[in-house]
Amino acid sequence: MIPSANAVTNGSFITQPGKTVIMETRFLFLGLSFFAIQATAQDLTQIGTQKPVTVSGAIDVRAIGYNSKGIAPRRSPLSWVVSGSPTIALYGIRIPISFTFTEQERSFSQPFNQFGLSPTYKWITVHGGYRNISFSPYTLAGHTMLGGGVELSPGKLRFGLMTGRLNRATTVDTTTGAMRPYSFSRYGTAVKVGYGTEASFIDLSFLQAKDREKDFGIDRDSARIRPSANSVLGSSFKVSFLKKFEVFGDGGISVYTRDSQSDLVVEIDSTRKFIKSISDILKVNGTTEYYVAYNGGVGYTSKHFSLKLIYKYVDPNFQSMGAYFFQDDLRNITLNPSFNALNGKLRFAGSFGIQKDNVKKQKAATTSRIIGLANLSWDITDRLGLDANYANYTSNAEPTVTMVENRYLLAQTNSNVSVTPRLILPGKTMAQVVILSYNLSSLKDLNKDTLQAANILSQVVFLNHNLTLNSLGLTISSGLNYTSNELAIGTIKNYSANLGFSKSFLKNKLALSSSNSYIVTKPMQGNGRIWNLGGNLAYMPAKGHRFALRVNAMDNSLTYSDREPIKYSELTGELGYTFNF
């Protein structure tokens, strides 16, 4: 069925102005606001050893009370929520389901949102329904498709086929007046052929996709959009040799037509000879462009050390209808070392690279970035350890096509350093964990004419302590925190302390816990404090049944030197029951 201009597709239903199909169906399905089914791959060779049907999961019912003073209420005084996450297994094929129903949810959208199966028998896998498949980074790369396909892997041969709908047409919801982005239904087919193993292989893949106008529902000219078409040829390879070395790469050529119905002819110039040469194979016109993207590198891996050198290039505006997003217009080279020493107690991983955009010299400025990352983890003793991280990003934008007022349009450095020592003291009767962390982030403006107005210096320091008394079933947690943000116009600081505990009774059937914090905030023109007090009580009378009570109180007070003070409080209580089956 094709919706008219006054209809909106909503999951499996179509509504018309004045109709109440969805409202009636909502009660039929107990008000599910979300119902998603996604089954994973199933090995059919094991089907005889599994139960025909099993059901497991949880259902949760909650009632929530709320009261506020000093501010307008931010939620209803009394609300309730019924939610569940049952899972149905049919001969081992797991079908997880989730739903939520509240007094505020009065609409029912997209029931049975997604359903898909990928049964496997030996070297044959069949896909059906909503599936998320990847053939290469530049053709079909994790895009959800509603359709069918097959993957075959007899020995070293590799074959894949997937065809179906990539996107569904969207129009205007005239029942609510809400505007939706215009788009056509998009259908595509992807094929992959290859040979090899995980260690060494070569794959070729091809994607062809296009927009279909007949599902759109309104005149495309009034929507000011045009149906597009796309063909992408991709390749991937990896060659391992001498046990420790490898060469790898991925590449793609995308031929993208912005308006597949255009009558414009292809104009021959130095950049469009390729388009003309493929006109006998693909349908092209004056709105057709082609883009190139590739990456590759070499690597060395041993027991204690690895090193990879990777080069990547992506044309401006590179697109593939089989992928959701590409970072385009870039050229970068990175060096990625890693090692471990001291019997694995000392571990390091890093990356250093240079990245530039404006690869086609079409922009007025070229931005260069120096990227540096380093992660170090050291288990000094069985109890004492240290984690450290460093990141640095330096950007410079230099004019290329036209001269501008300053030599550098942008010059800045963004760096981050964190150091986290940790102490773990295990024991039969008592265990302790102490974590101290310091984090420094800075953004420095290197332009002389801006007077460093964009400089930002942020510091975060926290100390956490956990004490567990095993014989009492008691855990006490405490912490201190300091945050500082230095801006060109002033400094903002926060100080906080937290204290909490958890205690179990009646052979772990009853649990009591509390979490509390006190925050002092110092904005540039004022002072404030925030109290957060919370308590939780949980009781499990029998297996699968859990009753819970939660109470949280918050009191906020903030004074300013140039305006009225702000003071308000909120109290929230929640009573819940959970059934696990």
pLDDT tens digits for range 133-166 = 999 999 999 999 999 999 999 999 999 999 999 9
For residues 86 and 57, is the Cβ–Cβ distance under 8 A? Answer: yes
What integer pLDDT is reported at residue 402 of this predicted model?
44
In this structure, the answer to whether residues 101 and 199 fall within a common structural domain is no
CB 110 within 8 A of CB 55: no
The closest alpha carbon to 356, from 393, 329, 327, 394, belongs to 329
Low-confidence spans in the chain with pLDDT less than 50: 1-39, 106-112, 174-175, 177, 179, 401-409
**Residue numbers of the domain that contains 56:** 1-118
Which pLDDT score is estimated for 238?
A: 97
| Residue 7: predicted pLDDT | 36
Number of domains forming the structure of the chain: 2
- pLDDT for the residue 12: 34
Q: Which of 309, 328, 347 delimits the end of a domain? A: 328
Domain annotation covers residue 140: yes
CA gap 293, 313 in Å, rounded = 6
Q: Which residue carries 């909502």 as its tokens?
A: 26
Q: Are residues 203 and 91 in the same domain?
A: no
Q: Which of 119, 177, 174 is nearest to 151 (CA)?
A: 119
Residue 288 domain flag: yes
Beta carbons of 67 and 570 less than 8 angstroms apart: yes
Within a domain: 146: yes
Per-residue model confidence (pLDDT) at position 447? 59
> Which three-class secondary structure state does DSSP give residue 80?
strand
User: Whose structure tokens read 């001291």?
Assistant: 342
Q: Who contacts 54 (Cβ-Cβ below 8 Å, separation ≥6)?
A: 88, 89
Whole-angstrom distance, CA of residue 70 vs CA of residue 116: 50
The whole-angstrom separation of Cα 324 and Cα 145 is: 12
Q: Quick check: is 316 in a domain?
A: yes
pTM (2 decimals)?
A: 0.75
Largest CA distance in the chain: 83
Residue 135 domain flag: yes
In a domain, 463, yes or no: no
Question: What is the spatial distance between Cα 190 and Cα 233, in angstroms, rounded to a whole number?
Answer: 10
Q: Which residues pair with 232 in a beta bridge?
A: 207, 254
Output the six-digit token pair for 5: 């201009």
Instruction: Copy the structure tokens of residue 356.
Output: 């530039």
Instruction: Check: CB of residue 80 under 8 Å from CB of residue 102.
Output: yes
At which of 274, 298, 328 does a domain end?
Answer: 328
Residue 206's closest CA among 283, 139, 305, 150?
A: 139
Nearest to 40 by CA among 129, 117, 144: 117
Helix, strand, coil % over all residues of the chain, rounded to 5 = 5, 60, 35
Among residues 225, 186, 177, the alpha carbon closest in space to that of 8 is found at 177
Contact 34, 99 (CB under 8 A): yes
Query: Which residues are within 8 A (CB) of 241 and not within 5 positions of it... i.e. 6 or more apart?
Result: 247
Asked if residue 413 belongs to a domain, the reply is no
How confident is the model at residue 114, as a pLDDT?
Answer: 65
Answer for the pair 246, 225: CB distance below 8 angstroms, yes or no. Answer: no
Q: Are 86 and 146 found together in one domain? A: no
pLDDT of residue 535: 97
Residue 271 confidence (pLDDT): 63
Kindly state whether residues 103 and 174 are assigned to the same domain.
Answer: no
How many whole angstroms separate alpha carbon 284 and alpha carbon 153? 35
Q: Domain boundary residue among 302, 328, 354?
A: 328
Q: Are residues 89 and 159 in the same domain?
A: no
Tell me, what's the pLDDT at 371? 86
Token pair for residue 29? Answer: 């399905």
Same domain, 262 and 144: yes
Q: Is the same domain home to 110 and 178?
A: no
Residues 160 and 241 in one domain: yes
pLDDT of res. 455: 82
Same domain, yes or no, for 187 and 322? yes
Helix (H, G, I), strand (E, B) or coil at 44: helix
Residue 577: φ, ψ to 5°: -135, 130
CB atoms within 10 A of CB 288: 25
Domain co-membership, 113 together with 132: no
Query: What's the pLDDT at 96?
Result: 72
**49 plus 101 within the same structural domain:** yes
Residue 369 inside a domain? The answer is: no
101 and 210 in a common domain:
no
| First CA to last CA distance, the chain | 40
Identify the pLDDT of residue 283: 87
What is the C-alpha separation between 96 and 22, in angstroms, rounded? 23
Q: Residues with Cβ < 8 Å from 321, sequence gap 6 or more? A: 143, 166, 186, 188, 207, 209, 228, 230, 232
Amino acid symbol at 228: S
Q: Report pLDDT for 410.
A: 53
